Structure 1
Amino acid sequence: MADLTEVLTPPRHRVERRAMGWWALRTAATTAVAGGVLLAGYLLITPWRPWTGPALLVVLGLGLAHLLVTPPWRYAVHRWEVTDEAVYVRTGWFVREWRIAPLSRVQTVDTVRGPVQQALGLATVTVTTASAAGPVTLVGLDQHTARRVAGELSAITARTRGDAT
């Protein structure tokens, strides 16, 4: 059995640096939609102005703060690694979550590339296991890395003994 300190060392790989752009675009889009709704209310419904004006400023301020803080913070924290034994993922803001999925428990490996991810050359690999905690997700990978990882996981899983339950 592996030494516990070996298992809990940080996973080796960072997400792709372009993932910061993806996270920033998602934050900007959410802020724009919320701000747009409040702005429309402010401009079109006069009785709402006393509260929509301040709410709009709060949404824009929080959106800007989120835009400036979230992408670099997530990039600094998110890590992943795939070995012949397991998939390791570390995420989190203030509370760090470490997910370790033994390959003998892997049921499916999926690769997802939404429109923005495609434009940025990114992909997400989702490793579904028999765990009640849900799938292990490797976000913000380079599309070529994601393809390679999904292929490696499929090959390793096919060679791994066990019934993935």
Structure 2
Amino acid sequence: MSAAPAPPVSEPAWSLSRSAIWLWVTEGIVGTLVYGAIVTVAVLLVPASVGGPVPVLRWLLPVLVGVYAVVAIGIRPWVRYRVHRWEVTAETVHTLTGWLTRTWTLVPVARIQTVDVTRGVLQQLYGLASVAVLTASSQGTVRVPHLEVAVAERVAEDLARRAEQVRDEAT
């Protein structure tokens, strides 16, 4: 008689800050402007009289930049917000990330070595911060991105305190 399989871990309870959507929209706008500038330069550098596939590229490349803009600005931020989840329980930190490739990460509090809070330039603009949970495992760091600053600071302090308590109990 074989043992019953362990019940699956539930999906993490918390989503990221809604401001993350606008951060991702801003990243999509910047990316579109960069790609648009590259395509514009490429199209302007190729003489109109050149034959072959070049005339098709003169209209195809801007269309592709337009498709990229729709996805990067209008679709991807909303999907990412819906699929990125996180939770801190008494025993673990759970993250669920990725909108095409889903990555589920569970970090036991007992394995935590360091907890960092970082704020990139765009995160500062939108009042966000990321929590990085570092372990000694080969997987390295687990990140909970784009939390409100106060939430990120509370989570980091709580995790650091609990990791220290677990280390103290082990000695």
Which range is displaced more, 49-58 or 114-123? 49-58
Q: CA deviation at 1:12?
A: 1.2
Q: Distance in 1 between matches of 2:94 and 2:6?
A: 14
Q: CA RMSD in A?
A: 2.1
Residue of structure 1 aligned with 2:148, choices 137, 142, 148: 142
Q: Report the counterpart of residue 60 of structure 2 in structure 1.
A: 54
Greater CA deviation, 41-50 or 14-23? Answer: 41-50
State the distance in 2 between where 1:12 and 1:149 align.
14
Give me the TM-score of the superposition, normalised by structure 1. 0.87
Identical-residue share of aligned pairs (%)? 35
Which runs of no fewer than 5 residues in structure 1 stay unpaired?
none
Which residue of structure 2 aligns with residue 104 of structure 1? 110
More moved, 65-74 vs 115-124: 65-74
Q: Which runs of 4+ in 1 moved over 6 A?
A: none
Paired residues for 1:16-165 under 5 Å: 16-46=17-47, 50=55, 51-161=57-167
Shift of 1:53: 3.8
Question: Once the two structures are superposed, what CA deviation does each residue of 1:48-75 show, in whole Å capped at 9, x if it has no partner?
Answer: 8632442122122122123211111111
The 2-side partners of 1:104 and 1:52 are apart by 57
User: What secondary structure is seen at the aligned counterpart in 2 of 1:101?
Assistant: strand
TM-score computed with the length of structure 2 as normaliser: 0.84
| Aligned-partner SS, 1:25 | helix
Conservation of the 8 A alpha-carbon contact between 1:109 and 1:153: yes
CA distance in 2, matches of 1:144, 1:114: 15
Amino acid at match of 1:25: T
Letter aligned with residue 162 of structure 2: I
The number of residue pairs the alignment matches comes to 159
Contact 2:105 2:142 in 1 (8 A): yes
